[in-house]
Amino acid sequence: MKRTILILCMILLNGFCFSKDIDRILEEVNQFLEKGDYKSAEKLLTDAILTDSLNGKLYLYLGNVYYTSQDLEKSLASFNRALELKPNNPRILIDRGKLKREMKDFRGALADFNRVIYINPLHRDALYERAMLYKERENYEAALADLHKLIQIDSTKYSPKWQVASIKKKQGKLWESLADYSALCIEFPNKYVAWNNLADTEMQLKDYECALEHIEKSISVNPKFAGAYLTRGEIRLKMNDSKLACQDFDMAKELGEGKTKEKAEGYLVKCK
């Protein structure tokens, strides 16, 4: 009897020690990810899996390492294995759903988000990710339904309210979008993107004076936000101030990247 108890104690102690090792390993993985050292993070996890091949958390982390390094097929395989070990785990389902969305498997992504929401109808992450999927697929009413549910769950969060205003703008409901952005800027005065979008909406409604006033708010909150200089340049063009507009486009090009930079360069061609 004593021998049996001793063996059980040793098993529990080993499990506790390995649990501590897992925590240390995952902490090191996060450090590697912060440095962009995906290979070291991958090796750390694959070595740990050799020791504990039935640990779903290790496969979840490995899936996210592959996802971050854009090795999507390996990421999917890791998430699938994690779900075999931890069926119906919300975090794994949501992460796999986000991956499937990036892989353009929209039906599969929706199925994963729906599965979480079926288990927990008030799961905020799943509702938000499903809303973003609906938005991408231009199913705006379904997206708005999920976002409004999120606002009912917690009315203090910025992102669902911002998305509501953004979707209404895409729908062409400019006055409703304007009201939503105005409320956002009052509630969250340090959100420079909200000020930018408010100004852009006002510009579309041809209220250039208010648009110029509010884009200045965006720039004052974040002087390095390229999008605000692009918007201010567009406003100034509408106000026939091409000289200052070109200066703004030059700043947007200097600070920006991607589509913002490309758009600024397009305007600058006309400035010469």
Contact criterion met (CB below 8 Å) for 44 and 28: yes
Does residue 28 register a pLDDT over 90?
A: no
What's the pLDDT tens digit per position in 129-184? 999 999 999 999 999 999 999 999 999 999 999 999 999 999 999 999 999 999 99
Per cent of the chain over pLDDT 70 is 92
Residue 109 banded pLDDT, cuts 50, 70, 90? very high
Distance, in Å, from the CA atom of 260 to the CA atom of 37, rounded to the nearest integer, reads 29
Query: Of 13-17, 53-57, 91-95, 234-238, where does mean pLDDT reach its minimum?
Result: 13-17
> What pLDDT shows up at residue 118?
97
Distance, in Å, from the CA atom of 47 to the CA atom of 58, rounded to the nearest integer, reads 10
The mean pLDDT of the chain is: 91
What's the pLDDT tens digit per position in 195-251? 999 999 999 999 999 999 999 999 999 999 999 999 999 999 999 999 999 999 999
Q: Any alpha helices (H) in the chain, and if so which ranges?
A: 2-35, 38-51, 56-68, 72-85, 90-102, 106-119, 124-136, 140-153, 158-170, 174-187, 192-204, 208-221, 226-238, 242-255, 258-271
The string of DSSP codes covering 23-83 is HHHHHHHHHHHHHT-HHHHHHHHHHHHHH-TT-HHHHHHHHHHHHHTT-HHHHHHHHHHHH
